[in-house]
Amino acid sequence: MTELSPRIDSLPKAELHLHLEGSIQPATACILMARQGVQATEQEVRRRYTFGNFQEFLEAFKWITSLLRDPQDYALVATDLAEHLLTQNVVYAEVTLSVGVMLLRKQRPEVNFEALLRATEPFERRGLRLRWVFDAVRQFGAEAAMAVVEAARSCGSNTVVAFGIGGDELQVPTAEFRGVYDRVREAIELLRVERIGHGIAAIQDPSLMDLLAERKIPLELCPQSNLRTGALARQLARHPVQIEDHPLPVFFRHEIPVVLSTDDPALFDTNLRSEYAHAAHMGLQESELEQTCAMGFHYAFQPSSQTGTP
Ligand SMILES: [Zn+2]
């Protein structure tokens, strides 16, 4: 693997596609399990974090969310994530919360969110700004998604910067969610920003690539995630694939904005430093890596005056 130059390594970075639940390190998972009276080793958790395809990944993700039961559990994992981000020179992050899962488990999102905000506030003084994306689960349907929008409203915090829908795209057609998106469109238009999570399928459609480049719509690229979930192999219709087969350099040189992220760093056994090393390994030059760092700030949902842009 290509070494990352100390200069790129030391640049302040932003991470824009990152799930709180997918960032729970095995050691922290053990603590959460112990809180519920279950003794487990990190190695056992790591075994849970192995999967052969997207469906198995969703199972692993579901399992880890089942460990989050109380507001203090959310406070613990958010604190751990904040510490981890600082070790990666991340000064700004937009973190996705599976609020849809909280509602499914009959938890009160406002209470969890309050605990998590209180736990992470001290990190602002250490130079880390955290913003939050409330995520609905696609398979739960449009009504459940609407409840997530309502939860975002009742939290009433200006640190909630976006709304997302994750999960299995093949199960529920997008049209069913139109009402939900209409409710949030006003906010999107107000902020005049939009990003696409992953979007590596664009590699198969040259006219879509042109459109993304022309409109400057960024792709949130998470190479290790694409490799581990099998998405990369599926898109390239080839097996096995390696990290250097990722289309990131093609998108970059097609002038499509890219923001480099880790998605679920604990589940995919990655971190932002590794993802930049991956990008270097794919052939991105020093100046291109530098531009990639800058795009992380530029395409944040928060106005640049508040991202701590270097
Ligand atoms: Zn994701």
Question: How many structural domains is the chain composed of?
Answer: 1
Q: Does position 139 have pLDDT exceeding 90, yes or no? A: no
Taking only the tens place, the pLDDT of each residue in 236-291 is 999 899 999 999 999 999 999 999 999 999 999 999 999 999 999 999 999 999 99
The reply to whether 286 falls in a domain is yes
pLDDT on residue 189? 47
The reply to whether 310 falls in a domain is no
Query: Which residues make Cβ contacts (< 8 Å) with residue 298, sequence separation at least 6?
Result: 257, 304, 309
Average pLDDT of the chain, as a whole number: 89
Q: Does position 131 have pLDDT exceeding 90, yes or no? A: yes
The reply to whether 39 falls in a domain is yes
pLDDT on residue 304? 64
The reply to whether 71 falls in a domain is yes
Q: Does position 202 have pLDDT exceeding 70, yes or no? A: yes
The reply to whether 308 falls in a domain is no
pLDDT on residue 182? 56
Find the 65 Cα to ligand 1 centroid distance in Å: 14
Residue 204 gets which letter from DSSP?
G
Q: Does position 307 have pLDDT exceeding 90, yes or no? A: no
Find the 37 Cα to ligand 1 centroid distance in Å: 30
Find the 263 Cα to ligand 1 centroid distance in Å: 5
- What would the 3-class secondary structure string for 247-277 be? CHHHHHHCCCCEEECCECCCCCCCCHHHHHH
Query: Which residues make Cβ contacts (< 8 Å) with residue 14, sequence separation at least 6?
Result: 90, 91, 92, 93, 259, 293, 296, 297, 300, 307
Residue 138 gets which letter from DSSP?
G
Distances (CA, A) of 302 to 186, 193, 196, 254: 16, 9, 16, 26
pLDDT on residue 184? 54
Q: Does position 109 have pLDDT exceeding 50, yes or no? A: yes
pLDDT on residue 121? 95
Residue 263 gets which letter from DSSP?
B
Structural domain boundaries, residue 275: 6-301
Find the 282 Cα to ligand 1 centroid distance in Å: 21
pLDDT on residue 310? 57
Give the CA count within 13 Å in the CB-facing half-sphere of 129. 22
Find the 134 Cα to ligand 1 centroid distance in Å: 12
Q: What's the farthest any 2 CA atoms get from each other in the chain?
A: 55
Find the 240 Cα to ligand 1 centroid distance in Å: 22
Q: Record the tokens describing residue 282, joined without a space.
A: 């794919």
Q: Does position 295 have pLDDT exceeding 50, yes or no? A: yes
Q: Which of 176, 232, 237 is nearest to 54 (CA)?
A: 232
Q: Which of 195-199, 248-252, 290-294, 298-302 has the lowest mean pLDDT?
A: 195-199
Find the 275 Cα to ligand 1 centroid distance in Å: 15
**Amino acid at site 263:** D
Q: Record the tokens describing residue 7, joined without a space.
A: 């200069």
The reply to whether 306 falls in a domain is no
Taking only the tens place, the pLDDT of each residue in 143-196 is 888 898 889 888 888 899 888 877 655 455 556 656 655 555 444 344 444 788
Q: Record the tokens describing residue 77, joined without a space.
A: 């994992």
Find the 17 Cα to ligand 1 centroid distance in Å: 6
Q: In what order do the strands lie in the sheet with 196-197?
A: 196-197, 219-221, 258-260
Find the 178 Cα to ligand 1 centroid distance in Å: 21
pLDDT on residue 157? 86
- CATH of residue 165's domain is 3.20.20.140
The reply to whether 114 falls in a domain is yes
Start-to-end C-alpha separation, the chain: 28
Taking only the tens place, the pLDDT of each residue in 44-86 is 999 999 988 888 998 999 999 999 999 999 999 999 999 999 9
Find the 220 Cα to ligand 1 centroid distance in Å: 9
pLDDT on residue 190? 47
Cα(294)–Cα(65) distance, integer angstroms: 32
pLDDT on residue 95? 97
Q: Which of 115, 181, 116, 104 is nearest to 142 (CA)?
A: 181
Q: Record the tokens describing residue 118, joined without a space.
A: 């209180």
Q: Assign 127 to helix, strand or coil.
A: coil
pLDDT on residue 178? 60
Asked whether the beta carbons of 142 and 177 are under 8 A apart, the reply is yes
Find the 247 Cα to ligand 1 centroid distance in Å: 18
Average pLDDT over residues 17-38: 97
Cα(148)–Cα(167) distance, integer angstroms: 14
Asked whether the beta carbons of 115 and 77 are under 8 A apart, the reply is no
Q: Where are the beta strands (DSSP E) in 201-262?
A: 219-221, 258-260
The reply to whether 46 falls in a domain is yes
